[in-house]
Amino acid sequence: MIRDRLRLARYDARCRWLRWRSQWRNWTRPPAAERYFLFVLCPTYGGSTLMQEILSTSPGVSPNNVWGTREGLGLPQVRRHFDYRRLWDADYELPWPRIRREWEGYWQHDLPV
């Protein structure tokens, strides 16, 4: 139990550092002329983590999460915006504008993808 909490705290600290670094780059570099958003959607055990890792090796790609499972919904600030228990309810709507605002804090805006 304590080990899990320490692991989660370490992950959150890494994510905060990544967000700070991305925001610093966004302040110091001009944005890319054209930006494209690419979302990798796969079923469970469909290879999405491998695809994310391969795409992240490109110097022109800015992933929103480079640790753990690499899921954007697993980021610490994003986790607070939705209820995991209701994710599969048909009537539950995710707050996408708030989630996008948080994701943009992790993306490097000077990269095109």
- Condensed to tens digits (0 to 9), the pLDDT of residues 80-107 reads 777 777 778 888 888 888 888 887 777 7
Quote the pLDDT of residue 21. Answer: 75
Quote the pLDDT of residue 1. Answer: 66
Give CA–CA dist 102/94, Å, rounded. 13
DSSP 28-80: HSPPPSS---------TTSSHHHHHHHHHTSTT---S--STT--GGGSHHHHT
> Which residue is associated with the tokens 């640790």?
67
Quote the pLDDT of residue 112. Answer: 83
Give CA–CA dist 63/13, Å, rounded. 17
Report the greatest alpha carbon distance in the chain: 47
18 close to 56: Cβ distance less than 8 angstroms: no
Collect the ranges in the chain with pLDDT lower than 70: 1, 27, 66-70, 72-74
